[in-house]
Amino acid sequence: MNPDITRERENATFDVEKLTHILDGGIEKTKRRREIESLVISDPDFQSEDLNFLSRSERYDAAVKKSAQMILKLREYGISDPEEIYCYKSVFRGHHHEALVLHFIMFLPTLYTNCNKEQFKKWVPLAESLKALGTYAQTEMGHGTHLRGLETTATYDPATQEFVMNSPTITSIKWWPGGLGKTSNHAIVLAQLHTQGKCHGLQAFIVPLRSMNTHIPLPGVVVGDIGPKFGFDEVDNGYLKLENVRIPRDHMLMKYAKVEADGTYVKPPSAKLTYGTMVFIRSMIVGEAGHALAKSCTIAIRYSSVRHQSEIRPGEPEPQIMDYQTQQYKLFPLLATAYAYKFVGQYMNQVYHRITGDISQGDFSELPELHALSAGLKAFTTWTASAGIEVCRMACGGHGYSRCSALPDIYVNFVPTCTYEGENTVMMLQTARFLIKSYRQASAGHQLSGIVSYLNESERRLQPQSVSSRPTVVNVNDLASLVDVYKLRAARLVKLAAKSIQQELQKRVSQEDAWNNSAIDLVRASDAHCHYVVVKLFAAKLGEMGDTGIHSVLSTLALLYALQGIQQHSGDFLQTGLLSVPQLSQVSQRLKELLAQLRPNAVALVDAFDYRDEMLNSVLGRYDGNVYEHMFEWARRSPLNKTEVHESYHKYLKPLQAKL
C-alpha cells in the first residue's frame, strides 16, 4: 500500500463503509452487490487481456464470447432479479458494452409489450432461448430525432398477405442499431405502414435478417457493420438495407395497431404507452452519468494523492498534487456532482417505479411532468458528466492520455449519451416546452402542482427590482436558502424565455419561428430548471442521513455543489438581481474554504463509491496507490513490444538509410 494513500484514509472524518451502504440503499444491498461482483471477478472464464491491446475484430470476438458465457453463468447462479443482473453485467463489462445488449434491453422488452397473444407464444420462446437473436432498428442514416421523417416502408400486399419491406433511398438505410451488423438474425424494424393506398405512420415489424442455421444474410437483406467509431469498439453497430423483403402479415407487432387480412388498418387505442420506456431509459442514463463521473473522480483523486510534482514551498519535497488549490477546484466540485447525480438517479428510479404503478392502474397524470423532467435531466447530467470526465483525465496530466488510466475508455463510452436516446439540445427544448406551457397556465391563473409549482409564484414575487432596493435575504452558508435562490433563478429565466417568445410574436412571426428565435433562452431556462432540481434533490437527500459524520461531509459537498454552480453562472444570479456583488465575493471566498475543508476526506469519499480495481481497470486509480510499477508492467504487455525490433525497421528504415 502506498503510504500517501494510507495517510489519506487515516485522516478521513467519517465511516466510509456506512456511506457505501447509503449509496447502495442499505447494508444488505452492499453485501449482495459485493457477492455478485466477486462471482465475476473470481471467475477464471472472465480473465482476459486488456481490450485495449486487441484489434477491433478481436474485441468484438471477445465481447461475443463474454456475452455468451454470461448468459450461461447467470442461469447457473440463478440470478434473475433485474437489479442483480445489472450489477453482474456492470462488473463484467467494465467501461465497455456487451455484444447482445439490444437483444435484452430492446428486442425482448418490445416483444413482451407489443406482441399479441399468438405472437407472444411464437416469438418470446425463440428470443429467450436466443434462437432468434434480435435488435431494434429505428434510426436511419438520414433520420434520427424526427420519427415521422423515417423512410423505410412496409407495404401490405393482400394477395399474399405479406408486407413488402423496402429502403427506398440511401438516407432510409437503417444505421447505428447495436448488434445489427454481425450478431443479430432478426430485427424489430420501424417502418411506415402502407395499406390500401394509405400511409398509417410508423409501426414495428419483425424482420428475419439471417438464416437461423447458417447465419448468412437472407435474400434482399443487405446488412453489415457501420465501421469504427470513437468508442464502442466491441459493438457491431450496423446498417440494414431492405430490398423487397417479404414477411408474413403476423410479423407486424399487433398488440395495439393491426392490419387485417384484407388490408384494413385498425388504429391503436392510445399513444401514451411508449412514454414509459423512454422515461425509464433516460432515468438509467442519469444514473450512468453519476457512475461515469464517480469512476473518473475515483481515478483522478486517488492518483492526485500519490502523484507528487513541483513545489509550493521552495526547498520542501514535492507536494501531492491534490494540495494545489487549482487541482482541488478541478476535482472536488466534480466529486460533489457525482454524488448529486447518483442521488438524482436513485430518485428518478423510485419515481419511475411509483408512476409505473399508477400507469398500470390507468393513472397517467404524472407522466408528462416526469417525461419532461427526464428529458432535461438526461441532457443536463450527460453534458456535465462528459465534460467532467475529460477534466478528470486532464487533471491526471500526461498519464491520463494513456489507455492504462481507463479515462479515455470511460469518456468515449459515456459521451454518446449526449446524442443518443434524444439529442441533448432537443431534450432541453422538450423540457422547455413543458416549462413554457406550465408558465402560461400559471399566468392564466391555473394553480400548478409538482416540481413546476414555483412558476405559480412567478407573477406575484418576481417583479423586477433593482439590486440595491431588494432586501438580500440569501444566506450563502445555508443550503435551504440556496435551493430557494436556484428556484428563483429558474423562475426568472423561464419568464425571460417566455418574454422572448412574446417579443418575437410582436414582430408578427409565426409561433414556430418565435419559438426557434428564442431557442437559446429556452435552453437556458431548461438548464436552470434542471440545476434547481438537482440542488433540491441533493439537499433533500441530506435529510435522510442519520450519521453525523456522514451528514457533515455530505453537507459540505452539497454546499460546494450549490456554490460552485452559482460561481459558474454568476451572471445569471447578478442579472436577475438574486445576489449582490459583495455576496458573490463571499461565495468565492467560501468556495475556497470548502475545498480546504474537503481535502482530508477526498480519498475516503471516492472509496465510498466502492469500485473494485477490477471494475475500474485503471492503473492510476488503483486502491493501493501503487501506480508506477503497474504502469510499467502494463506497458510491457503492449502488442508493439512483442518483438524487440518492429518489422517496419527492416521494411522501411534500413532501406531509407541506404538511400541517403
Q: Write out the binding residues for its own copies, residues 129-168 only, by CB under 8 A.
A: 129-131, 133, 139, 141-146, 149
Residue 422 CB partners (closer than 8 Å, separation 6+): 145, 278, 282, 375, 378, 379, 430
Provide the minimum distance between the beta carbon of 232 and its own copies in the complex, in angstroms, as a whole number. Answer: 8
d(CA 339, CA 362): 35
| Angle at CA of residue 96, ends 290 and 61, nearest 5° | 170
Q: Where are the beta strands (DSSP E) in 583-641?
A: none
Q: Which of 91, 108, 173, 294 binds its own copies (CB under 8 A)?
A: 173
Q: Which of 79, 105, 202, 226 binds its own copies (CB under 8 A)?
A: 226
421 is catalytic: yes
CB 175 within 8 A of CB 193: no
From residue 392 to residue 431, the character string flagging contacts with its own copies as x (rule: CB under 8 A) and all else as - is --x--xx-xxxxx---x---x--xx-xxx--xxxx--x--
For the record, the C-alpha cell of 340 comes out as: 448529486
71 contacts its own copies (rule: CB under 8 A): yes
Q: Which of 44, 198, 471, 647 binds its own copies (CB under 8 A)?
A: 647
463 contacts its own copies (rule: CB under 8 A): no
d(CA 586, CA 375): 34
Stretch binding its own copies (CB under 8 A), from 14-22, 84-92, 263-271, 564-572: 564-572
Contact set for its own copies, span 236-255 (CB under 8 A): 236, 239
Provide the minimum distance between the beta carbon of 408 and its own copies in the complex, in angstroms, as a whole number. Answer: 4
d(CA 372, CA 235): 30
Provide the minimum distance between the beta carbon of 58 and its own copies in the complex, in angstroms, as a whole number. Answer: 9
Nearer to its own copies, 186 or 249 (CB): 186
**Considering CB under 8 A, how many residues would be counted as binding its own copies?**
141
Nearer to its own copies, 55 or 481 (CB): 55
Provide the minimum distance between the beta carbon of 198 and its own copies in the complex, in angstroms, as a whole number. Answer: 18
Binding residues: 139, 178
CB 428 within 8 A of CB 376: yes
Q: Where are the beta strands (DSSP E) in 9-76?
A: none
Catalytic residue, from 83, 84, 421, 459: name it: 421
For the record, the C-alpha cell of 404 comes out as: 492504462
Distance from CA of residue 223 to its chain's centroid? Answer: 28
Nearer to its own copies, 112 or 401 (CB): 401
| Angle at CA of residue 447, ends 443 and 450, nearest 5° | 115
Nearest alpha carbon to residue 525 among 587, 626, 455? 455
Nearer to its own copies, 78 or 227 (CB): 227
Provide the minimum distance between the beta carbon of 531 and its own copies in the complex, in angstroms, as a whole number. Answer: 15
Binding residues for FAD: 139, 178
653 contacts its own copies (rule: CB under 8 A): yes
Provide the minimum distance between the beta carbon of 283 and its own copies in the complex, in angstroms, as a whole number. Answer: 21
Residue 320 CB partners (closer than 8 Å, separation 6+): 4, 304, 305, 306, 307, 308
110 contacts its own copies (rule: CB under 8 A): no
Count other C-beta atoms under 10 Å from residue 418's C-beta: 20
Contact set for its own copies, span 263-302 (CB under 8 A): none
Contact set for its own copies, span 26-65 (CB under 8 A): 52-53, 55-57, 60-61, 64-65
Q: What are phi and psi of 31, to 5 degrees?
A: -60, -50
314 contacts its own copies (rule: CB under 8 A): yes
Whole-number Cα distances in Å, 87 to 72, 94, 594: 16, 11, 34
Contact set for its own copies, span 493-512 (CB under 8 A): 510, 512
The residues annotated as belonging to the active site are 421
